[in-house]
Amino acid sequence: MTYSLPSPKAEAILAKGNRYFRNGANYEKRRAAAQQAGLNNKPPQVIFAKAEGDYLYDVDGNRYIDFQCGWASNPCGNANPEIIEAVTAAMRQYGFIYEHPLRYELAEKLLPLTPYGHHSRLNYEVSGTEAAEAAIHMALCAKQARFIISFDKCFHGLGLGTKLVNGYDAESTRYMEAWKGGVIKAPFPSAYDAPAGMDIEQYIDYCLWHLETRIPSYEVPADLIAGVIIEPGLAEGGNWLPPKRFMQGVKRICEKHGWLFICDEVLTGLGRTGKTWAIEHFDIKPDILVIGKNITGGVEPIAVVTATEEVLANNKQSSSGSTYAGTPAGCAAALKTLEIYERDNVVERGRRLGELAAKRMAKWQDNYAIVGEVRSLGALMAAHIVDPETGLASMNWGMSVGDEALRRGAFVVNDHENTVRLYPALTMSEAALNEGLDIVEEAIAHVEKHGPMGKGIDNDVYYPHYYTGFTGY
C-alpha cells in the first residue's frame, strides 16, 4: 500500500495556508525548482486530522504508524485519555493561577525520581528550550563564572541562548556570531567524525584531552568555566550514543576543575533509553538535570530543572520561568503521567520494545548498502543512511527513505538529515511496532533499488520535505 501525498484535502490546505507562515513561500519555490530538475513526485506533505494511541490519521483518512511520537513527547501514546481527563479536571478547577497545590505535589513526586535521588530542588519552565537556558544560567550564577562548555552535534533548543550553545553547523547561528562569547565548543566522539584516521578509542582520548587540557590551558582558565551541558544521547544530532568511557571522563574532568555537570534529558529522559534517565547508563550523578517532553505525556507543556541543594538552595542571582511555567494543567498532566508510569511499568515496557526493535534493525546494516549503521538504546532508535558509492552520510538518501516510509504509512523523524530516527511510544503494541518496522525496511529497500529522489541535485533544490509547509522550515 502506498499513499499519494499530499492527499487532496492536504493539497487544498497547503495551497491556502502556506502564505500565512514564516518561509511559506519557499515551499512552492522549492517544489517548482525540484520539478524543473526532473523530480516528478510531489513532496509527501501531510496534514493530520487525528492522533490516537499508536496511530495518526491524515485529513483524507490515511493511517500511519507513529514513530515520531510528538517528537518523542507522547510516551503513553497519542492523546492518552487518562492524561486528558486529568488536564480537563485541573482546567475546570483552577483555570490558570500561579499558586496551587499541584505545584507542590509534583515537586514531591518528581524529586525522588531524579538520578540516584540526588536532587532536592527544582524550578518549573514551559519548554525544553527554556529549561536548558535556565539550567545554564543557574550554573553560571552558582559558580559565579562566565563560560559554559557544550559539545559538537548537541541540541538544547531554539531560544536565543540555546541556539548559541547548540553544536549544529555554522549556518545555524548565521548573524549571531558576535553573541557566542560565553560558549566554548568541545568535540563529541561520534565515530563518523573521527579526524586524521583515528579509531573511536583514539578519538575518545582526544576529546577528553581537549576538554581537560586544551580548553583550560589555551582558551579559558578553568575557574572561569561554570560547567558543561551534555546530552547522554545526542537526539537531534542523529541519536548518537556516547561511549561510557567518554561520559565518565567528562564527569571526572568536571570534578577535577570544579565544573557543574548539566545533563539535558529533555528527549532521553523518563524511559526513552530503557532506564528512567539515560545518564543512569553511565553511573553518573549530574549536578543539574533538564527535563521536558515525556513528563506530561505530550498533552500539556511543562518542563523542569532539578538540581542539588548546592546549586539551587541559595541561587539568588539566576532567574528563569515564564507566565505559563508550572500551570495547574501542566502539573496535573505530569502527575497523571508519572502515575501511569508507575502503575503500568512504562519504563520496562519501553526497554522491552527497544530490544525487539534492535533485533529487527540490526539486520538492516548487513542487508542494505545504504544503511551505514544502526544505533539503538531502548526506544531511542536510528538508521544512519549513507551514499552506497561513497559510504558518506547523505541527506538526500536519508530524506528519500523518510519520505518513502511516509508514503507507505510510517511517520518517522527525518528532519532534513541523513539519519532516520524512530521514537515510538513506550507503550506501543508489538503488532504496531512490527508493522512500522516492516514499512521502514520496505522504504529502505525501495530507495536502495531505485536511488534517492534528489540524487545529483543540490540540497537547496531538493524537493520540499514533509516538515515544510506550515512550519515554514
Q: Per-residue confidence at 328, pLDDT binned at 50, 70, 90? A: very high
Cα dihedral across residues 207, 209, 214, 216: positive or negative: positive
Range list for CATH 3.90.1150.10 in the chain = 8-72+346-471
**Rounded CA separation 227/136 (Å):** 8
Q: Label residues 304-325 b or e (16+ Cβ within 10 Å = b).
A: bbbbbeebbeebeebebeeebb
β-partners of residue 56 are 51, 64
Does residue 422 register a pLDDT over 90?
A: yes
**pLDDT tens profile 120-159:** 999 999 999 999 999 999 999 999 999 999 999 898 988 8
Classify residue 41 as left (phi > 0), alpha (psi -120 to 50) or beta.
Answer: beta
Specify whether domain 81-344 bears CATH 3.40.1010.10. no
- Residue 399 and residue 423 in contact, taking contact as beta carbons nearer than 8 Å: no
Q: Where in the chain is the domain with CATH 3.40.640.10?
A: 81-344
Q: Give the pLDDT confidence of 349-374 residue by residue, as tens digits.
A: 999 999 999 999 999 999 999 999 99
Distance of CA 175 to the CA centre of its chain: 25
User: How do residues 187-218 score in pLDDT, each as one tens digit?
Assistant: 999 867 788 889 999 999 999 999 999 999 99
156: nearest Cα among 268, 310, 298, 273:
268
Q: Which residue has the higher pLDDT, 464 or 171?
A: 171
Residues making up the chain, counted from first to last: 473
Give the angle 436-437-441 at the CA atoms, nearest 5°: 120
Determine the distance from the C-alpha atom of residue 454 to the mean position of all C-alpha atoms in its chain, rounded to a whole number. 26
- CB contact at 8 A, 146 and 152: no
**Amino acid in position 455:** K
Question: What pLDDT was estimated at residue 466?
Answer: 45
Provide the pLDDT for residue 75: 97
Q: What dihedral angle (degrees, nearest 10) is formed by the CA atoms of 321, 281, 74, 169?
A: 70
Name the 3-class secondary structure at 125.
Answer: strand
As given in the structure block, the three cell numbers for residue 330 are 501542566
Q: Distance (Å, rounded) from C-alpha 409 to C-alpha 96?
A: 39
For a pLDDT cut of 90, what percent of the chain falls above it?
Answer: 71
**Type of residue found at 324:** Y
Higher-pLDDT residue of 275 and 454 is 275
pLDDT value of position 193: 77
Instruction: Give the C-alpha separation, 93 to 22, whole Å.
Output: 37
The whole-number pLDDT of residue 184 equals 95
Pairing verdict, β 147-151 and 225-230? parallel
Nearest-angstrom CA–CA distance, 227 and 257: 9
Strands (E), 14-132: 48-52, 55-58, 63-66, 121-125
Residue 202, pLDDT score: 95
For residue 346, what pLDDT is reported? 98
- pLDDT digit string, tens, across residues 431-471: 999 999 999 999 999 999 998 876 655 555 554 454 443 33
Phi-psi region of 258 (alpha: psi -120 to 50; beta: other; left: phi over 0): left
pLDDT at 472 over 50: no
The average pLDDT across 30-39 equals 72
Q: State which of 6-20, 338-352, 389-403 shows the largest mean pLDDT.
A: 338-352
| Integer CA distances (angstroms), 2 to 166, 400, 423, 439, in order | 37, 14, 22, 10
Multiple choice CATH, 8-72+346-471, 3.30.420.40, 3.90.1150.10, 3.30.1490.20, 3.40.640.10: 3.90.1150.10
Report how far apart, in Å, the C-alpha atoms of 412 and of each of 14, 51, 115, 137, 444 are: 21, 15, 30, 34, 13
The mean pLDDT value of the chain amounts to 90
The beta strand positions in 199-315, using DSSP E, are 225-230, 260-264, 288-291, 303-307
pLDDT digits (tens, 9 = 90+) for 50-79: 999 999 999 999 999 999 999 999 999 999
